C-alpha cells in the first residue's frame, strides 16, 4: 500500500538550450535557475512564500550519458545505422517544432552578455536541421574504436536550466501533469549509480 500523496505539476518552464560557449555561456548557472524558478512560480499563480521545498539537480554530463547509452545499444542490438537514423529524425523533428513555435511557450527569455551589451536568448541553439544519415555515418565512433555511439550524433554539450512548480494533489486541481505517489529508480548498469 502506498501512503505517499500524488504530486501534480502546476507549471513548467526552461531557458533556451545553448550550445557550449553559446548564447547563455556568460550567464552563471544560478542566475539561469533563478530566472526559471521565478517564472515557474509566477505561471503557477502562487506566492513565493508558499513554496515549501525546492529541488535542483545536475544533468549527467553528456559524454558520460552517451557512454551509458552505448551500453544499452550494445545490450539490445541497436545498430549504428539505426542510431544515426534516429538522431537525424530527432533533429528534424526538433527543427520542425522550433519552426512551428512549439517551444516558444516553454522558454523563459534570458538576458545574456554579448559584446558590450546584452542579447535576449529565446531559441534553442543545439538543433541541427541539416543533419543527414550520410553525415552521421562519416563521424568516428566515440568511447570505443568499435563503438556504436558517434561523437556528434547527439546535440552539442549545452547549457540550460528548467523548473517546475509541484504540489500535493489536494492543493490544486488545475495542473499540467500528475505523478502517483511513490518513487522511481533506474538500472545502475545502464545509467550509472543511483
- Domain CATH code at residue 153: 3.40.47.10
Give a yes or no: residue 160 inside a domain: yes
Count of structural domains, the chain: 1
Give a yes or no: residue 143 inside a domain: yes
Please give the residue that has the higher pLDDT: either 119 or 64: 119
- Give this prediction's pTM: 0.72
Give a yes or no: residue 70 inside a domain: yes
Q: Poorest-confidence range of 24-33, 63-72, 93-102, 159-168? A: 159-168
- Which grid cell sits at 172? 490544486
Give a yes or no: residue 103 inside a domain: yes
**Domain extent for 21:** 7-182
Give a yes or no: residue 190 inside a domain: no
In the predicted model, what is the mean pLDDT of residues 129-155?
A: 75
Q: What is the pLDDT of residues 162-182, one digit of tens each?
A: 666 666 655 555 666 666 665
Query: 141 pLDDT exceeds 60?
Result: yes
Q: Are 40 and 12 in contact (CB under 8 A)?
A: yes
Give a yes or no: residue 29 inside a domain: yes
DSSP 156: P
Quick one: pLDDT at residue 134? 94
Give a yes or no: residue 192 inside a domain: no
Q: What is the pLDDT of residues 30-66, one digit of tens each?
A: 898 899 889 988 988 888 888 777 766 655 555 565 6
- Residue 36 makes CB contacts below 8 A (sequence gap 6+) with 13, 14, 15, 108, 161, 162, 163
Query: In the block, which residue shows the cell 556528434?
Result: 152
Amino acid at each position: 500500500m502506498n501512503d505517499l500523496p500524488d504530486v501534480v505539476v502546476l507549471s513548467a518552464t526552461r531557458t533556451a538550450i545553448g550550445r557550449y560557449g553559446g548564447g547563455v555561456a556568460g550567464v552563471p548557472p544560478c542566475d539561469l535557475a533563478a530566472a526559471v524558478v521565478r517564472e515557474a512560480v509566477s505561471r503557477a499563480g502562487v506566492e513565493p512564500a508558499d513554496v515549501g521545498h525546492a529541488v535542483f539537480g545536475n544533468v549527467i554530463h553528456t559524454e558520460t550519458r552517451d557512454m551509458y547509452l552505448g551500453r544499452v545499444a550494445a545490450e539490445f542490438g541497436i545498430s549504428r545505422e539505426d542510431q544515426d537514423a534516429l538522431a537525424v529524425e530527432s533533429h528534424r523533428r526538433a527543427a520542425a517544432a522550433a519552426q512551428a513555435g512549439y517551444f516558444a511557450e516553454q522558454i523563459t527569455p534570458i538576458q545574456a552578455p554579448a559584446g558590450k551589451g546584452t542579447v535576449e536568448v529565446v531559441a534553442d541553439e543545439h538543433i541541427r536541421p541539416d543533419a543527414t544519415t550520410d553525415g552521421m555515418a562519416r563521424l568516428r565512433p566515440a568511447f570505443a574504436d568499435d563503438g556504436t555511439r558517434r561523437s556528434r550524433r547527439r546535440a552539442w554539450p549545452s547549457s540550460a536550466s528548467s523548473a517546475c512548480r509541484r504540489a500535493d494533489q489536494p492543493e490544486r486541481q488545475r495542473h499540467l501533469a500528475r505523478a502517483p505517489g511513490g518513487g522511481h529508480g533506474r538500472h545502475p548498469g545502464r545509467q550509472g549509480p543511483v
